[in-house]
C-alpha cells in the first residue's frame, strides 16, 4: 500500500514558499526554484503540491543522473529488438499535467537543463531519434530545488525560473516543535494524519480549480504593466523575463483571490519572488567610465622607505584603484598521483550524470542501448561484439570553488600596488575558471574582513565588485583567514594575495601570531601571492605559504609576464 503524501495544508510556516507553489499550480508556466538549507522541507512541500492538483496529476522526480533519452524520450529498446521500432515517451511527457521536480537542479548538466527549461516554457517536448520524430505535450509545474553550498546555477539558467524562494529552517522554537510534532504524527499513522487535514486540502484544491478557470479573464492594465516595468528597472534587472514573470504571477494571485483585475497589492506580493534571484546578480555596480586609467608603467617613482610604508599601512584614508591588465598563469589543481584534484576528491562518491556515450573496447560503464543499436546496424543481430561496445561518460557533479582572500589595506596604496592586485585576481579568474566552477571573494582592510562576493559563477559580478573595492587602513589578516575557513569545502582552491603585514590582532595581542595560527588551520589547496614591494620586503607572505603548505609566487612575476601554469596540490594535510 502506498503511503499518502504529506498534506500541503499541514506545512508549518513557509508562507512565501506556499504562495509561490500555489501560483505555479494556477499557471503552470511559473516555474519555481527552491533554494535553501538541507532539511528545510523543500522536497516534502514539492511532493505535497502534486496532491493538490486536479486529477490525474503525477509527481515525477527527475534523477540527476538522467540521460537525454530518458528525459526527452527515445527508441523503445524492447520493441526495436523485435523489429517494431517505436518512440518511448520521456519524463517530460510523463509529467504533463502534474509536477516535475528536480532536486539539486544546480547539478543537472547544462544541456539537459536547457532542454528541460525550454519544454517548461513552451509546454511541448520534441523528440527526434533514428529517423523518428514526435511532438509531445509537456505542460507541467516545474519545481527545482538546490542547496547553494553545493554549487550555483549559471545566471542564464537561473533567469529561466519565473519565481524563486529562499527557504530556511525556522529558529522560532514553537514553530520547530510544531513541525516535529506533525511529522511524528504523520510517520506514526499517515492515513489518520491526512484525514485530519482533508477539509483544508479540499478547500485549497477547489481554490486552484476555480483560479485556473478564472485566470484567462483576469485583466492586467497598462498602468499595472508600467508599475511592473518600473519596479524591475529600479532593481537594475535587464532580463524581460522578470517583467513577464511578475505579470503572470500577479494575474495568478488575482485569480486565487477572486479578483477580476490585477492591483498594486497583487503586484507587490509577487515582486520578491520574481526579483530575488535576478536582482542579486544585478546589484553590483557596473564598470565606471570615469575610472582612472592604468598607471604609466614607464614611470618609476622612488620607492618609499620602510618607515613610510608602515605609516601608510596604518593610515585610514581609503582610495579606489582600477585594475591593471596582467598576463597571469592558469591554475591547475592536481592530486599527489598527478590526476585532477577535483576528480580525486570525489572518489567514493556517487557518479555524476551521463553527458554522452562513446565507443570503447573496455567500457568502464556499458551503455547497452548504443551497443545493441550498433550491433543491429552492423550485423542485423543483437549479439554484441567488442567493436560494438559503447560506454557512458559521466560529468563531475560539482566544480571547484576559487576562494580569493584579497588584502586591500593601506600598504597597497604605495606605488598604486592595488592596481596590480586587482589585475592579478581578474586574470586568474578569467584564465582558470571552467564550467561549473565558482568564485568567492573575502577582502580585508581597516579593522576586519568581509565577504565581498558570496560563491557565484557570475564572473562579471566578481570583476565589477573588485573594480569598486576601496584600498586603505590597517591589515586584519588573521580575521580574513578565519572568515575564509567558513567557505572552504573539499573542492576549494584558496588564493591569498597579501604582503603579510598583519597589524590587527584577532585572538591575542600579537597580530602576526594570530595570522599564523589561522593560516595553519587552512585545509585545502592554496596559493599565496606575495604582493610586497621588493625594496621594502619583510618576507611575511612566504612564511604564511609555508605554514599553509601552499604554493608561493610573487606578484612581480605576474607583472614580468610569468605565463607557466601553476600546479596546486590537493591540500590534504
Residues belonging to the active site: 241
Angle at 471 between CA 470 and CA 476, to 5 degrees: 115
Could you report how far apart the first and last alpha carbons of the chain are, in Å?
A: 51
Among 140, 148, 81, residue whose Cα is nearest residue 382: 81
**In the block, residue with C-alpha cell 522578470:** 242
Q: How far apart are CA 508 and CA 528, in angstroms?
A: 24
Sign of CA dihedral 94, 99, 101, 105: positive
Among 460, 452, 425, 419, residue whose Cα is nearest residue 331: 425
| Measured torsion, CA atoms of residues 492, 326, 406, 523, in degrees rounded to the nearest 10 | 30
CA Rg value for the chain? 28
User: Under a CB-based contact definition with an 8 Å cutoff, are residues 353 and 112 in contact?
Assistant: yes
Number of helices (H) and strands (E), helices first, in the chain?
22, 21
Q: How far apart are CA 556 and CA 303, in angstroms?
A: 15
CA 152 from centre of chain = 1
Q: How far apart are CA 151 and CA 398, in angstroms?
A: 6
User: Under a CB-based contact definition with an 8 Å cutoff, are residues 150 and 104 in contact?
Assistant: yes
Please report, for residues 25, 34, 168, 179, 422, the alpha-carbon distance to residue 171 in angstroms, rounded to integers and kept in the order given. 29, 19, 9, 12, 40
Q: How far apart are CA 259 and CA 185, in angstroms?
A: 37
Sign of CA dihedral 458, 462, 464, 465: positive
Q: How far apart are CA 540 and CA 522, in angstroms?
A: 17
Q: How far apart are CA 476 and CA 487, in angstroms?
A: 18
Sign of CA dihedral 537, 538, 541, 546: positive
CA 473 from centre of chain = 33
User: What are the DSSP E strand ranges found in 352-437?
Assistant: 354-359, 390-394, 401-407
Please report, for residues 82, 243, 403, 520, 571, the alpha-carbon distance to residue 485 in angstroms, rounded to integers and kept in the order given. 59, 39, 10, 11, 14
User: Under a CB-based contact definition with an 8 Å cutoff, are residues 546 and 496 in contact?
Assistant: no
Amino acid at each position: 500500500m502506498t503511503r499518502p503524501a504529506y498534506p500541503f495544508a499541514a506545512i508549518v510556516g513557509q508562507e512565501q514558499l506556499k504562495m509561490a507553489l500555489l501560483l505555479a499550480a494556477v499557471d503552470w508556466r511559473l516555474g519555481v526554484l527552491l533554494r535553501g538549507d538541507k532539511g528545510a522541507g523543500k522536497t516534502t512541500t514539492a511532493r505535497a503540491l502534486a496532491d493538490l492538483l486536479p486529477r490525474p496529476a503525477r509527481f515525477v522526480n527527475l534523477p540527476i543522473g538522467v540521460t537525454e533519452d530518458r528525459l526527452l524520450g527515445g527508441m523503445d529498446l524492447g520493441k526495436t529488438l523485435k523489429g517494431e521500432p517505436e518512440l518511448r515517451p520521456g519524463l517530460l511527457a510523463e509529467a504533463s499535467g502534474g509536477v516535475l521536480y528536480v532536486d539539486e537542479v544546480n547539478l543537472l548538466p547544462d544541456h539537459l537543463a536547457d532542454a528541460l527549461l525550454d519544454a517548461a516554457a513552451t509546454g511541448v517536448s520534441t523528440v527526434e531519434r533514428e529517423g523518428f520524430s514526435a511532438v509531445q505535450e509537456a505542460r507541467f509545474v516545474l519545481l527545482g530545488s538546490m542547496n547553494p553550498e553545493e554549487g550555483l546555477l549559471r545566471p542564464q539558467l537561473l533567469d529561466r525560473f519565473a519565481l524563486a524562494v529562499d527557504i530556511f529552517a525556522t529558529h522560532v522554537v514553537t514553530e520547530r516543535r510544531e513541525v516535529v510534532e506533525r511529522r511524528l504524527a504523520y510517520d506514526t499513522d499517515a492515513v489518520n494524519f491526512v484525514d485530519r487535514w482533508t477539509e483544508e486540502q479540499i478547500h485549497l484544491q477547489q481554490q486552484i480549480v476555480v483560479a485556473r478557470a478564472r485566470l484567462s479573464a483576469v485583466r492586467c492594465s497598462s498602468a499595472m504593466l508600467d508599475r511592473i516595468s518600473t519596479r524591475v528597472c529600479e532593481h537594475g534587472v535587464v532580463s524581460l523575463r522578470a517583467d513577464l514573470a511578475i505579470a503572470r504571477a500577479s494575474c495568478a494571485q488575482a485569480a486565487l483571490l477572486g479578483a477580476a483585475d490585477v492591483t498594486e497589492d497583487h503586484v507587490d506580493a509577487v515582486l520578491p519572488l520574481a526579483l530575488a534571484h535576478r536582482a542579486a546578480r544585478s546589484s553590483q555596480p557596473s564598470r565606471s567610465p570615469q575610472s582612472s586609467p592604468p598607471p604609466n608603467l614607464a614611470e618609476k617613482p622612488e620607492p618609499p622607505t620602510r618607515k613610510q610604508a608602515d605609516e601608510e599601512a596604518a593610515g585610514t584614508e581609503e582610495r579606489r584603484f582600477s585594475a591593471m591588465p596582467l598576463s597571469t598563469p592558469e591554475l591547475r589543481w592536481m592530486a599527489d598521483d598527478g590526476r585532477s584534484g577535483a576528480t580525486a576528491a570525489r572518489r567514493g562518491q556517487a557518479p555524476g550524470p551521463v553527458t554522452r556515450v562513446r565507443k570503447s573496447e573496455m567500457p568502464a560503464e556499458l551503455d547497452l542501448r548504443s551497443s545493441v543499436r550498433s550491433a543491429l546496424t552492423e550485423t542485423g543481430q543483437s549479439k554484441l561484439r567488442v567493436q560494438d561496445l559503447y560506454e557512458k561518460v559521466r560529468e563531475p557533479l560539482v566544480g571547484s570553488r576559487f576562494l580569493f582572500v584579497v588584502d586591500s589595506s593601506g600598504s597597497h596604496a604605495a606605488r598604486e600596488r592595488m592596481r596590480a592586485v586587482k589585475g592579478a585576481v581578474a586574470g586568474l579568474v578569467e584564465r582558470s575558471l571552467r564550467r561549473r566552477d565558482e568564485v568567492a571573494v573575502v577582502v580585508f582592510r581597516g579593522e576586519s574582513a568581509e565577504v565581498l562576493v558570496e560563491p557565484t559563477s557570475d564572473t562579471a559580478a566578481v570583476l565589477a565588485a573588485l573594480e569598486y573595492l576601496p584600498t586603505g587602513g590597517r591589515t586584519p589578516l588573521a580575521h580574513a583567514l578565519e572568515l575564509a575557513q567558513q567557505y572552504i569545502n573539499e573542492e576549494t582552491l584558496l588564493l591569498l594575495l597579501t604582503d603579510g603585514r598583519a597589524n590587527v590582532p584577532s585572538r591575542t595581542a600579537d597580530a602576526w601570531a594570530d595570522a599564523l595560527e589561522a593560516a595553519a588551520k587552512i585545509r585545502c589547496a592554496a596559493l599565496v601571492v606575495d604582493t610586497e614591494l621588493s625594496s621594502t620586503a619583510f618576507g611575511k607572505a612566504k612564511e604564511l605559504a609555508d605554514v599553509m603548505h601552499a604554493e608561493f609566487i610573487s606578484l612581480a612575476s605576474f607583472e614580468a609576464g610569468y605565463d607557466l601554469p601553476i600546479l596546486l596540490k590537493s591540500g590534504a594535510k
